[in-house]
Amino acid sequence: MKKRIVEFLKGLSFRTGVVVLCCCVAFYLLSFLFLALPLPIGWRGALWTIFFGLAKAAQYSGLLIVGKEGMKRLRRKLRKSVGAYE
């Protein structure tokens, strides 16, 4: 079953992987945002656990979708865009 999931994720496009990685960042931000809100400690802990778990799942899924070659491609694009501002 694990092999089927991995093969399915690898079959998705590079753009899908980037979108999933962006969702990962959003989930990380949400997980720590709830710690700053005046909620009961139990709620904060539960919300942090849920959103941090979603962030980790999105992170690993996004990395699996993008793959090794996609990471090289993403790094080249980021270096190019950062170099334009320097």
What pTM was computed for the model? 0.72
SS (H, E, C) 36-70: HCCCCHHHHHHHHHHHHHHHHHHHHHHHHHHHHHH
Shortest CA distance to 59 belongs to which of 77, 71, 72?
A: 71
**pLDDT digit string (tens) for 1-36?**
878 887 887 788 888 888 998 999 999 999 988 888
Whether 64 has a pLDDT exceeding 90, the answer reads no
Position 9 in a domain: yes
| Domains: count for the chain | 1
- Provide the domain limits for residue 45: 2-81
86 belongs to a structural domain? no
